[in-house]
Chain A
Amino acid sequence: MSALIECFLWKGLPSVDSLKISEDGVTWYTITKTSTQTVQQTLSAFASAATAESGLSGAYSFDVNTTTGAVVLSSSVAFSVELMRSLPAALGFASGVLASSTSHTSTSTPLAVLCGPNLHGVNYDAPAPVEDVNQFATRWGRGKSYVHASGSQVRLEVFLPSAIAEEAIASPMWSGRLRIIPDVEDYTTGAYSSTNLRGYLDCYVHEVTETEQIGAGKHITRVGLLASLDEGY
C-alpha cells in the first residue's frame, strides 16, 4: 500500500501553469495549462498538448513515478525543457532549464506531490459533517485557507520521512487544496463518498495541527492536519 498526496495547481494567475519545449534547441513551444488540476492531471495535460503540437515530433509522456516519488518527463525524441516560474520547485527540479534528453527526472523532492519514499502513509477517519467548521481567513505569513460555514471535516495524519519533513512541511502543500489518494495501487475512480469509500479525498487544509518525530531514530515525522472536504466549488 502506498499513498500519494498532490496539490491542485491553480490556473488563475501565472505561476505553475506553463513550460517551454524545444526539440532543436532553437524553436521553443510554450505549453500552457487551461484549468486548475492536480499535479498528475497537469503533467498529463502538458504531455498531451506537447504531443499535439505540430511543431514537435515526439510523443510525450509526463508523469509521477509512484515508486520513486520522482517526476519524469519523457519523449520519443530528445527535447529541452524550460519550466516556467515556480514549476521547477513544484515538480522537484533544481533548475528550470533542462538540457536536451529523451527523459528528465526530478532530482529533489517534488514539493507539490509526495509519494513513494517521500510519503510513508496517510491515516484519516471518515469525514464527518460538522456545523461551523473551523472558519478563518488569514493571509501572508499566517496561513492561507478558507472554509465554509458547514460541511464535512476530516482529521488526517500524514507520515513523512524526517529527512524531507522540514522542507515538505514548509511547502505550499499544507496551505491549499489537496488530493489524497490513500493507496495508489488500490483505489476506485472518483471522490470519496458514502458510496465510494475507496475514492480519493479532495480537501482544503485548514491548519497543520501538530508535527511529531516518531519511531526508532525518529526517522518518521507525523504531521496532523485538519481539513474540510471540497464541496460547493
Chain B
Amino acid sequence: MAKFSEVADALRHGWSWLYALEVEGCHLIFCEADVGASDPAGLQQSATLKIDKSAAVGSRIDREKGIGVGFDLTVTIMRSEDTETIFKKPTKIARLASDLTHTATTVQVEDATGWTTSDQVFIGTEFLGTAGNVDTSSTPHELQTVTRHGPYAGTPYHWGVWPAYKVDKRSAVATWVTNSPLYWRGRMVRMWLVPVDQFGAATGSHLLENASLAWAGHISTDIVPAPDGWTFAAKSDDRRLEESLAASISGTGKIEPNADPFLTEYPFGSGDAFAITLTQKSLDTISGGAIVFGSVKDGPRTVTPFEGLTIPAGGLALSSFMAAVVDAWDTEMSSVDHYGAFRWHKTQDSAAVPRITYEAQVLAKAASAAAAGDVLLMGYSAPVYSTASIAAWTVAPGVVSALPQYISDEIWIPIGLKIHVTPTSMGIRVTSDTGDVSDIPTSGWVRVEFGDREMVTKYQATTTPGEALLTFNPATGPAPTALSASVTDEEPTEVSVEFLGLVSGSYPDMMRKVITSSGRGNNGAYDTLTHGYDLPDLDASTFDEVMDDGWNHLVGDVAIAARTSFVDLFGGLMRLGRVAVVPRTSDTGQAIKLSAVRTDVYDSPDYNITVEDYHLIRSGGASPVRQLNRRLDPNHWTIEFERGEDKQRLIVRDIVAARAEGVNAGRVTAHGLRKEDADLTLAAWARSSFADRHGMLAYELDVAPWLDIQTGDLINLNLTHWALWNRATGAQGYAGLARVIGRRVALATGSCTLTVLIHGTFKTATLAPSMPVTAFTGSASDPATVTVDQKFVAAVSAYLTAASPVRLYAYRPGFEYSYSTTLYAYDVTEISAAGVMTVSATVGSFSLSSDYHLTIPPEAQGNTAQALHTHTDDGTVWR
C-alpha cells in the first residue's frame, strides 16, 4: 500500500495512475484499464470503469456543521459480459427463514430447492461466500458453511474484505438470499488509486498491492442505464453523518392509572438485608384434622435471601424489584430444605384507601401425604420500610400456629412483609408499532404525544407478552396530573409514543459511539449502541488528541429522536468548539478513517508541510490562488441546553461588535447537557470565537497532488502570489501557518485544490510546552538522555527539523524564576517516538530529577520553530 501523495509523486517521473472501484459484496473490481496485473485475492478485474463526469472528490469542512462535506463520486460501468451478469436479476432467490447473526455460517431459508454447493450466496449488501453444502432435508432448508468476513477486529478492512452483518428476517431489503447481488444502493465502495509505471505496467504482485485508497463512501443512487453501460453516484462517509440515525421506534399506548411505582433506593437499606429468622418444627401427629407440632427441627436459623439485591442507578420499577426478590429467594432457599416458593400476593385495600397491597408469602413445603416428622413451619422477622409511593412495609413477627386440615394443599404462609402501593404516578401500557415488543428498549427516553400535549421523559419498561408497561421516575418523570388529564378529560386515552435512542457519556465518547455503533458490538471499543452509523473506519485516537479536557467534562445524556443526525446532535458544539469530523487517509494509504480535526488556525511548530510557489499549479485556466469570502463568525451566540423536558438558554454576545456591525447571530444546541454543567466551558468557547471574527482569511490553492496534505492539517505557506497578502505587514504574499479545511482532487486531471484559513489581523499561537521529565540516563548533573511524554515528540521533532541541536531549558516549577539560577540548558540532537531525547551538551550545574520540566528557551536562544509558540512576542500575537 502507498499513500495518495506517494502514488501522485510518480507522475513527475512519467508514471500515471488508474482508478479501480471496489464495491461491497461484489467480486468484480472495476478498473479503467487492463494493465496486465494479477487479480487481488477474492476479486476479479473488470476493465469497465469510466470516470469522466464526476465532480472532484474530497472533503471540505463546513464549520457550521462540524463535519466535512464530501463531494459525490459519479462513475459509469461499461457493459460487458461480466457486468451484465452482475447487474442482472439473480437466478436463484430464497426467503430468509430465521434471523442471521453476523457470525453464522449457516443460512436458513424457506426453500433451497435448486441451490447447489457451487452457488454464491448474497444477502443485503453482503456476499456470504460460496455454499459449502445445501441441505434441503432440514426444516427450514439450509445453505451451510458459507465463509463470512469479519467479525471486525478493530483494524481497517482491506481490499476484498467487508463487514459481516446481522440480518433480521423481517427486513424489507435483506429478506432475500440470492445467488448474485439484488440491489446496490447503500453498498460501501472504495476507489483505489493504482500506480502504473512509465511502461504501462502495474507494479506489485497484484493490482492493489501498491495502490492507495483515494476515496470511500456508499452508493447513494440506484443503478441507472447509460450509453453502453450503467451509472451510479456515491456519497462519502462524512456525508452519512448528515443522515438520520433511525435510532427510534414508535409505539401506541394507553394511560395506566395504577402503574408500577418506581423505586430509587433499596428498601432494606445497605447492610440490612432483610434477615428472616426461620423456625422449623416437625409434625408430630394429625388428629381429627388438627395438627400437633413436635420439636423444633434443625433449630432457628437466619437467612438473608435479599442481600444481593441492589437498585440500579436511575431506579427500578416495583414489578422488577418484586421479581428480583423472588429470584433471590429461590437462589437462597435452593440450599435449604423444607421451604417452598415465594410470591407476592396482590390484594385490594378498602375503597376508602385506594391502594394495592402486595403481601409476601412462602409456600409451606410438605409432602402430599404428610406424616409425623415432616417439617412444616417457620417464624420470621423483618425491618420496616416506607416511601412516598410505597406506603409501608408492614411487619408482624410471629409464628403460624395452625394449618388447614388438608396439609397436602398448597399452603401459602404470610411472612409479615407487605407493600402498600398508592398510585402516585401513572404509566403507559404500550405495543410496538414494529409488531415485536422486544424492540422496545428496557429503559431510555420516550416522547409521549397525546392530544396537543407532548413530553420527553425517561422510563423503564416491564415487558409482558405483546406489550410493555412504561413507568417513570416519580422524581423526574411526568407529574401524574399531566397524564391523568388525558384520562379524565375528553381527550383520548390512547397515546403515541416514540422510543428515543440514547447515548450517554462525554461528548467525544458519544460521538465515537454514534459513528461506529452497529448493534453487533464488533466495530471497536465504541460500538456499544443498538443504533449508530455502523462506520467501522474511525480514527478514535484523534478525538482524544483534538478534544481536550474541556470536551471531556461535557458529559451528557442525549436522546436521539427520529430524523436526528450526528450533525443535529453534535454539530452545534463542534461549531462552537471549532472541531470537525472528516475522512482522512491512514499513514499506509490502506484505509480512510473518520477523524476529528481542528478547524481554527494558530501558530504551532508541528505543522505538516511547507507549500512553496513551485507547488502551485494552474488547472483549467484559473488562478492557482483564489481568495474566498469567509462567512463572519457570530457576535451574538445563543446556546440552548436541551435535556429531555429540561431546556435552558445561555447568551454570549460581543455588544460592541453588535452595535457597530449589527447582530450576526449564531445559535447552537447543547443536547443532553444542563446549563449548570456546561455554561462556563461553552461561554468561554463562544467568547474565544470573537477574536476569530477578524482573525482569519480563506483561500483556495491549486497545488500538486504529491503534497502530503489532508483536510485538517496545519501547513506552512511560503507563497508570493499576488492574491495573498499578509494582514500583519501589508506585504504581498503570505509566509505563515494555515489550516487546511478542505481538499479535493479532480479525478480527470489529478489537480488538487486546498481550502485554507490563514491568519488575518490577529494571530493566535500555541503555548510553549512544559514537559515533565519522566526519566533520564547518565548522571543527574550530566544526563545522556532525557525522557518526556510521547505527546511532546511532534513539537520537539519540529524544533529539530528547524535546527539541530535544539536548545531546551530545564526548570523546577515553584522555584525561583531566573534563567541564571534554576533554569539549565540542554542541547538535544534527536527524539524518538517514545519521547527519549539525546542530550549532546548541558549548560549549568544542577541535579536532574523528576521535579524538573523542560521548556523552550528565550527567543534569542530559540529557533524558528520554537518561535511559533506564544513564548515569543513579535507584537502580533494574540494573548
Contacts and interface: CB of A to CB of B under 8 A. Distances in A.
Contacts of A144: 11, 14-16
B11 A145 contact: yes
Contacts of B705: 137
Contacts of A149: 613-614, 616-618, 624, 721
A86 B32 contact: no
A147 B615 CA distance: 8
Contacts of A85: 197, 201, 203
Contacts of A111: 199
Contact of B749 (A13, A14, A138): A138
Given A13-B210, A89-B199, 12 more contacts: A13-B6, A13-B10, A13-B195, A13-B203, A16-B198, A135-B619, A137-B11, A137-B750, A140-B196, A148-B704, A150-B614, A151-B614
Interface string B191-229: 000011111010110000010000000000000000000
B198 A175 contact: yes
Interface string B10-24: 111111111000000
Given A146-B704, A148-B615, A232-B612, A140 B197 contact: no
Nearest to A90: B199
Contacts of B2: 12-13
Interface string A122-159: 00000000001001111111001111111100000000
A86 B6 CA distance: 19
Contact of A175 (B14, B615, B704, B751): B14
A185 to B, nearest CB: 27
Interface residues of B, number: 41
A8 interface: yes
A12 B617 contact: no
Interface string A85-108: 110011000000000000000000
A132 B618 contact: yes
Nearest 9 pairs between A and B by C-beta?
A176-B14, A172-B198, A232-B614, A148-B614, A15-B197, A10-B13, A135-B618, A86-B199, A137-B751
A172 B619 contact: no
Interface of A: 7-10, 12-16, 36, 85-86, 89-90, 111-112, 132, 135-141, 144-151, 171-173, 175-177, 204, 231-233
Given A86-B201, A140-B33, A146 B617 contact: yes
Contacts of B613: 148-150, 232
16 contacts: A7-B14, A13-B6, A13-B197, A14-B204, A16-B197, A86-B197, A86-B198, A138-B749, A139-B16, A140-B32, A141-B33, A145-B11, A148-B613, A148-B614, A149-B616, A171-B198
Nearest to A112: B198
Contacts of B17: 139-140
Nearest to A17: B203
Contacts of B746: 137
Contacts of B18: 140
Contacts of A137: 11, 617, 619, 704-705, 746, 749-751
B296 to A, nearest CB: 90
Most buried by A among B9, B10, B14: B14
Nearest to A8: B13
Contacts of B614: 148-151, 231-233
B263 to A, nearest CB: 67
Contacts of A138: 749-750
B12 A146 contact: yes
A145 B17 CA distance: 12
Contacts of B617: 135-137, 146-149
A137 B615 CA distance: 12
Interface in B615-635: 615-619, 624
A176 B619 contact: no
A89 B197 CA distance: 12
B724 interface: no
Nearest to A36: B13
B146 interface: no
A139 B14 contact: no
A147 B704 CA distance: 8
A144 B16 CA distance: 6
A146 B203 contact: no
Nearest to A132: B618
A233 B721 contact: no
Given A86-B201, A135-B618, A150-B613, A12 B6 contact: yes
Nearest to A14: B203
Given A173-B14, A175-B198, A204-B12, A136 B7 contact: no
A153 B7 CA distance: 26
Contacts of B195: 13
A144 B17 CA distance: 9
A13 B13 CA distance: 11
A112 B198 CA distance: 9
A142 to B, nearest CB: 8
Contacts of A233: 12, 614
Contact of A14 (B32, B210, B612, B624): B210
A132 B242 CA distance: 41
A171 B748 CA distance: 22
Contact of B14 (A140, A148, A172): A172
Contacts of B203: 13-15, 85
Contact of B618 (A13, A15, A136, A232): A136
A86 B9 CA distance: 18
A136 B702 CA distance: 11
Contacts of A146: 11-12, 617, 704
A136 B619 CA distance: 6
B15 A10 contact: yes
